[in-house]
Amino acid sequence: MKANVKQNKSKLPDKPETIRKLERKLQAEGQLFQAIAQQSSDIILLVNREAVVIYENDAVERILGFKAEERIGSKVFDHIHPDDLSFITDTFNLLFSDENAPVQRSEVRVRDIEGNWRVFEIGASNLKQKDFAEAIVVNLRDITERKCAEKALRESEARHHEREERYRSILDNMEEAYYEIDLKGNMTFFNTMAVRKLGYTENEMIGMNFRRYVEKDSHQKVFDAFHKVFLTGESIQRVDWELVSKTGEKIPVESSISLMRDPQGNPVGFRGITRDITESKRADEKLRREEQRFRALAEQSADIIVIVNRKGIITYENKAIERVLGYKPKERIGGGLFDLVHPDDLKHLTEMAIKIAKDVNAPHLRSEMRLRHRDGDWRIFEVTGSSLIDNGKIEAGIVNLRDITKRKQAEDALRTSEMRHREREERYRNILDNMEEAYYEVDLKGNLTFFNAAAV
């Protein structure tokens, strides 16, 4: 029996050896945990059920400035931001009350040794031993710099958005159409006026090629203009062509073209401003017709008609100048208004011209002056001057010259003749009044019609 007892005892496990193996295993696992924790860039700490820190790795000193040994024995809540305490408290209670609780994640602020708040991404889970939560493992990843960068990015985006909205508002309130197209001529950006003028929706306009909305006869002209800007890199300030709206209406426009480049300087497209010149075209056409009418009347006029600019330079003179004074109109263009004026008439004519040039309300001024004929003779003219006013500003002066030389000669001849007749009449009257005899004249009815002094 004794032998059997001994034999059975030899088969029982050696209890002290088992404990030593467990202790060695635990020690090895603890060393492994510490080795991993100490090499981590995150703060790792263990918290017991009393919320006391029982372990913290050295990352706490690098990130928050506290030495790890100083933190052992302190409360886990000590440096948490007041607004984040509720999450920490709730997490602590949950993980210790429910051993199956999942990992709790959030963001918290922790005060560093200098009193600054740093932002951490937190992950917390319970450390179980035989289905019992003995402690909480907390991982704190410093995301302060990331948060600052995200905040700066949001602020930058907000500023850019604000500026973008301001510029967009400016563009959309412009009376002109702004456009951007790529190198193939496809629309990539435009303001509200561009859509309004052509009648397309924004979705229809984006990506549309210029051949869709440019009048067919203008295709080559438009291509040549953009190609020139592409080759030279120099902007074009004004080029005219016609657009065609969605309804088929033709719209005359005046456009600028500039080359767009990427940050490396490579051409990527074109931009410009397009202005509707429908009213301008109508005004130009109306002006052209008025000019034709004026020239037709002026060319048929027997009077000399002269237009001078504000400097007194002749910009137009009708054909009557050749018939009346012997000069061709082209000889006079670019000359001065006073070139042919008699010296004695210059002062008066200059005063008249100054008044017309300065006073928009000046009436038509009339006078007389002498102009030199090509043959050297002086001709007398009746002159009428007035201002040509555009938008309340004096743009030029118009002068009408009527040759009154013959009239003046006739008037002089009449005065001379009348004077001679008066002289003869006076002489004969004196003869009659000095006669001793009475002289008389009567009509057929016997009425006295003339008599001398002696008759009285």
Residue spans per domain, the chain = 33-142, 174-281, 298-403, 409-451
Per-residue pLDDT for 153 more than 60? yes
| pLDDT classification of 9: cutoffs 50, 70, 90 | very low
Among 30-44, 277-291, 321-335, name the one with the lowest average pLDDT.
Answer: 30-44
Contact partners, residue 308, CB within 8 Å, separation at least 6: 314, 315, 337, 396, 397, 399
Distance (Å, whole) CA 68 – CA 113: 12
- Residue 81, Cβ density class (10 Å: 0-12 exposed, 13-18 middle, ≥19 buried): middle
| pLDDT classification of 225: cutoffs 50, 70, 90 | very high
Dihedrals φ, ψ of 312, to 5°?
Answer: 80, 15
Per-residue pLDDT for 365 more than 70? yes
Distance (Å, whole) CA 146 – CA 44: 20
Among 6-10, 31-35, 168-172, name the one with the lowest average pLDDT.
Answer: 6-10
| HEC sequence for 218-277 | HHHHHHHHHHHHHHHCCCEEEEEEEEECCCCCEEEEEEEEEEEECCCCCEEEEEEEEEEC
Q: Which CATH superfamily is domain 174-281 in?
A: PAS domain (3.30.450.20)
* Two domains, one topology: 174-281 and 298-403: yes
What is the mean predicted confidence (pLDDT) over 227-243? 93
Distance (Å, whole) CA 63 – CA 61: 6
Reading the block at residue 231, the tokens are 């080759």
Per-residue pLDDT for 167 more than 60? yes
Considering the domain 298-403, what is its CATH architecture? 2-Layer Sandwich (3.30)
- pLDDT in the model for residue 13: 46
What is the mean predicted confidence (pLDDT) over 205-212? 92
Residues 331-368 as b/e (b if ≥16 CB within 10 A, e otherwise) read ebeeeebbebbeeebeeebeebbeebbeeeebeebeee
Relative to beta strand 304-309, strand 393-403 is antiparallel
CATH number of 33-142: 3.30.450.20
Taking only the tens place, the pLDDT of each residue in 368-412 is 989 999 999 999 999 888 887 777 788 888 889 999 999 888 888
- pLDDT in the model for residue 21: 55
- pLDDT in the model for residue 27: 55
Per-residue pLDDT for 4 more than 50? no
- pLDDT in the model for residue 125: 92
Rounded (5°) CA angle 30-32-33:
65
Going across the sheet that includes 378-390, the strands are: 314-317, 304-309, 393-403, 378-390, 365-372
| pLDDT classification of 266: cutoffs 50, 70, 90 | very high
Largest separation between any pair of C-alpha atoms in the chain: 218
What is the mean predicted confidence (pLDDT) over 428-438? 81
Reading the block at residue 264, the tokens are 């490396």
This prediction has a pTM of 0.44
- pLDDT in the model for residue 20: 55
The per-residue pLDDT of the chain, averaged, comes to: 85
- pLDDT in the model for residue 286: 79
Q: Looking at per-residue confidence, does 78 or 7 come out higher?
A: 78
Rounded (5°) CA angle 157-160-161:
80
Per-residue pLDDT for 196 more than 70? yes
- pLDDT in the model for residue 16: 62
